[in-house]
Amino acid sequence: MVEFNNPEALEGALRHGDVACVLAEPVMTNVGIVLPEAGYHKALREMTRKHGTLLILDETHTICAGPGGYTRAEHLEPDLLVFGKPIAGGVPGAAYGFTQEVAQSILAKQNLEDSDTGGIGGTLAGNALSLAAMRATLEKVLTPEAFTRMILMAERWTKGVSTAIADFGLPWNVTRLGCRAEYLFSPLAPKNGTQAHDAMDFELERFMHLYAMNRGILLTPFHNMALMSPVTSKEDIDRHTRVFRDAAKELVG
């Protein structure tokens, strides 16, 4: 495991020549949103190519950056791309893709007798429910039009939280990625997973979640994250802002 935003550590891990692939989110999300620093993805791509290592980017969470996820938004060039549950709106389903070069490498060593009829095998391959959910999600949710609206709502949510943090002098910060945003209990945005983890406060997080839930707002059951949907309204956002301000006011006494 190599810390995010640390090209030097990555170079050290790859220089031995025994790493087949690097698997990473283009933006860290499982410990809160940790954005890549300027030049990080360029270094990541250059180093993996230099050492003959495949680069796999996981867009399961970072699809929130827009249609095509963070890879399209920032013109990244992974060798393989994976995309999990959001492609079917939470129904089990996923997709993956790869470059033409990787495809040719696979085909060169493919043996039809060893291939399952479902391509990757399993009784859920081509599941009708999953495919229907994927079609609905791709046609109604993960569209340019929907993202335009969702990102505007996330900007409004972020501004409301940021203003409250400043008004009440809380040592917190708020970060947004496309239509996803969340606040962390540290004055500065973290640069890696360790810093994000160290900023967590379980008791305070439970308080914020319970305070919001008792007032009709259900945050995601981890972190302090909100993900906008095509039907999220300004009224929804402003309601959260009011509740967040009330919680902040009680915390500072």
The arithmetic mean of pLDDT across residues 157-162, rounded, is: 98
For the record, the structure tokens of 142 come out as 């993960």
Third-level CATH fold of 145-252: Aspartate Aminotransferase, domain 1 (3.90.1150)
CATH 3.40.640.10 range(s) for the chain read: 7-140
Whether pLDDT at 43 is above 60: yes
Helix runs in the chain, H state only: 7-14, 40-50, 69-73, 100-108, 128-140, 144-167, 193-198, 202-213, 234-252
CATH 3.90.1150.10 range(s) for the chain read: 145-252
Residues 170-192 pLDDT 10s: 999 999 999 999 999 999 999 99
Backbone angles phi, psi at 32, to 5 degrees: 95, 165
pLDDT score at 79: 98
Residues 190-227 pLDDT 10s: 999 999 999 999 999 999 999 999 999 998 877 899 99
pLDDT score at 252: 93
Whether pLDDT at 118 is above 80: no
**CATH number attached to the domain at 7-140:** 3.40.640.10
Whether pLDDT at 120 is above 60: no
pLDDT score at 117: 54
Choice between 127 and 81, residue whose per-residue pLDDT is larger: 81
DSSP state of 124: T
